[in-house]
Structure formats: C-alpha cells, structure tokens
A and B are shown apart, each in its own frame.
Chain A
Amino acid sequence: MGIESAMGEGFFTTKVDALTNWARANAAWPMPMGLACCAIEMMAFAGPRYDASRFGSEVMRFSPRQSDVMIVAGWSTYKMSHAIRRIWDQMPDPKWCIAMGACASTGGMHRCYGVVQGVDNYLPVDAYISGCPPRPDALLHALMKIQDKIKTEHSVLLDT
C-alpha cells in the first residue's frame, strides 16, 4: 500500500487500521481443513444451531485462495502434513490458523508413529482449542479470540 513510506505510524495509519481491522475481523472466512471427528463438530458449528455466519464466517471457503482463517480439525499424520502445509502456503496474507481439538494442538490421545504431535510443528498457530472434540461453542470462542487478535494485533503496516 505504500502507507509506511507516505505517512509512517500516526493518526492516519491508526484510523485506517481500525477500519480495515474491523472489516477483516467481521468477515473472517474459514478454510476448513476438516480431517477427522472434529470436522463433524465444525460442520455443526456451521449448522443451524451454532451458526457461524452470524459471526461473519459466512461461507466455508474450501479454496485456500479465498479464505482467511484455516481451521485444522483433526489429527494430522505425517503423510497429510505436506498437503496441509502446501494449502497454508497457498493462502494469501493476512491469514490466521486455529488448531481445533487436542489432536491438532498436541497430538491428543494419539501418541504413536503416524501422528504429528501438534500442527505447530509446521504451521504458525494462532489459537488452540482443547477438547476431544470441542463443542462448537468452543470453536466460536476461538473464532472470537481470532477476531480480537485481528483487531488488536494487526496493522496495515504489515501489508507490504
């Protein structure tokens, strides 16, 4: 955007920041990396009772080029980890990641040869949700935390 060369940090930047962050936070389209049982709770999170679209996550965009938040739901095996990393690389900035469930956060109950003990071994995770599987309310809580993160920690100065 070239703002940092024109204005630097100041009143104008913070106001633009507030506007763009408000827009980004309230339209965080998730990319569901639904792998296992947590994917079913993620479908319920998009379903009629725990409606995700009232939080701005209107559509589950399965294309990485059109999404902001990647929700890794389920255990990641070594074989699948390459595909997940590739999808993450294809997502355009700014992007955030939610590790949903115990298996995505730390490997969960699956302490064995096939499962990566936590997706943070190869992805930069922003929010971890515990639970096996976590209730959709917990996923909504994580989404709200990501929205807070966008509003407070992100700035247009980072978008070069």
Chain B
Amino acid sequence: MSLDLTETVQGVVDGLSSEYSEDLIEVYKSCDHTYIRVEAENIKEILNYLKTKHHFIFLCDIIGADRYTSDERFEVIYNIMNLRTQDRIFVKIRCEEEDPKVDSATSVWSSAGWMEREAYDMYGIRFEGHPDLRRIFMPEDFDYFPLRKEFPLLGIPGSIELPNTTPDTE
C-alpha cells in the first residue's frame, strides 16, 4: 500500500485485511481522509469490530448517496471517529437499486437511529433491524424519495397536499 496512513488507520486496514479479507474491497485517500469500501453483507460485524477493537466509538454521520449507475446505485457512508487518537475514517458500502437493504447500525451506536431514518426518507434504503424506520423529514403520506437523481427539484405536483382553504366546521 503506497498510501500515507496514520498508525491507527494502518492498524484498521491491517485488521480488516486479516479478519474480514473477503469483505474488504478497496482503501483510498481523498483530501486527507481515508475511505474504506467493504461489502454490504457483514457491515454490522465490521462496524462492531471497529468500535470494540479499534476504539472508533464516535459515530459522526451516516451519509446516503446516489451514484446514478445501473449497477450498485446507492451508497451508504459511515463517518466514524476515534477520540483517543483523533482519527477519522469513512466506511463505504454499496447497494442495489432494486429494493436496497442494509443491516442497521443501531445495535452498535444508538445515534444511528435518526441518521438511518434520514437515509431511508431521502433514498429509500431500508435498514433491517431498525427499531423505528419511519420517514423523518417528509410526511408518511409522501410516496417518493426526494434525493434520488430522477426526482425533479420542484417536486411532483399533487404528491403532497395543501390545506383546505374553506374551513370545515368542527
């Protein structure tokens, strides 16, 4: 590896290459941060391993992204931090467009609850094992997933209703 990684992150990469070698796909650096791409099947075990063995105890963010390719369209990126050595790594997984499903990380960090709800609301990625997977920003009556690239910026007229301007008698 010709990447210039800090000691902790190198330890992470070595640990992952030995324990989860079939899941590790690639490691790269972009603008001074390390991105590790893994397979989506064992993501819960990998995150648990990172939290317990390498002390990445702080989950900063879960980011959903849409690559707009026909193959492996959606990405989920976990932004985790080791407070002891102040290192930050990003763990990336990809999932299919048809019925995207990922294991939920709420058993590892409970702050993943709302972040996964946001990814579900915006992209439609379902998280298995999430205690309360509902939409968080748009109301439940909304049928579309707004941040997908094919959803128009101005919305779809009629997808969400405005209030009744003639007041009903109560």
User: Which A residues lie at the B interface, using CB under 8 A?
Assistant: 78-79, 81-82, 84-86, 89, 111-114, 116, 121-122
CB distance from B128 to the nearest CB of A (A): 27
Question: Which of B37-45, B94-102, B107-115, B161-169 lies at the interface?
Answer: B161-169
B151 & A113 in contact (Cβ 8 Å cutoff): yes
Interface of chain A, main secondary structure:
helix
Which residue of the partner chain A has the closest CB to B159? A113
A111 to B155, CA, bound (A): 10
Which residue of the partner chain B has the closest CB to A78? B160
B165 & A122 in contact (Cβ 8 Å cutoff): yes
Q: Point out the residues of chain B lying under 8 angstroms from A82, CB to CB.
A: 163
CB distance from A60 to the nearest CB of B (A): 24
B167 & A113 in contact (Cβ 8 Å cutoff): no
Q: Point out the residues of chain A lying under 8 angstroms from B164, CB to CB.
A: 85
A89 to B153, CA, bound (A): 31
A79 & B138 in contact (Cβ 8 Å cutoff): yes
Partner of A81, one of B155, B156, B162: B162
Partner of A79, one of B139, B153, B165: B139
**Is residue B15 contacting chain A, with contact meaning CB distance below 8 A?**
no
CB distance from A34 to the nearest CB of B (A): 19
A112 & B154 in contact (Cβ 8 Å cutoff): yes
A-B contact pairs, 15 of them (CB 8 A): A79-B139, A81-B162, A81-B163, A82-B163, A84-B163, A85-B163, A85-B165, A89-B167, A111-B153, A112-B154, A112-B155, A113-B151, A113-B155, A121-B162, A122-B162
A84 to B138, CA, bound (A): 17
Interface of chain B, main secondary structure:
loop
CB distance from B100 to the nearest CB of A (A): 21
Which residue of the partner chain A has the closest CB to B168? A89
A43 to B165, CA, bound (A): 29
Partner of A122, one of B137, B153, B156, B163: B163
CB distance from B2 to the nearest CB of A (A): 43
Chain B residues 131-170 with CB under 8 Å of chain A are: 137-139, 146, 151-156, 160-165, 167
Which residue of the partner chain B has the closest CB to A121? B162
Highest count of chain A CB atoms <10 Å: which of B151, B156, B162: B162
Highest count of chain A CB atoms <10 Å: which of B137, B139, B165: B165
A134 to B66, CA, bound (A): 37
In order of increasing CB-CB distance, the 10 nearest A-B pairs are A113-B155, A85-B163, A89-B167, A78-B160, A82-B163, A122-B163, A122-B162, A79-B139, A122-B165, A112-B153
Other than A113-B155, A114-B146, A121-B162, give 19 A-B pairs with Cβ distance below 8 A.
A78-B160, A78-B161, A78-B162, A79-B138, A79-B160, A82-B163, A85-B163, A85-B164, A85-B165, A86-B163, A111-B153, A111-B154, A112-B154, A113-B146, A113-B154, A114-B137, A114-B138, A116-B162, A122-B165
Chain B residues 49-70 with CB under 8 Å of chain A are: none
CB distance from A137 to the nearest CB of B (A): 32
Q: Point out the residues of chain B lying under 8 angstroms from A114, CB to CB.
A: 137-138, 146, 155
A137 to B25, CA, bound (A): 60
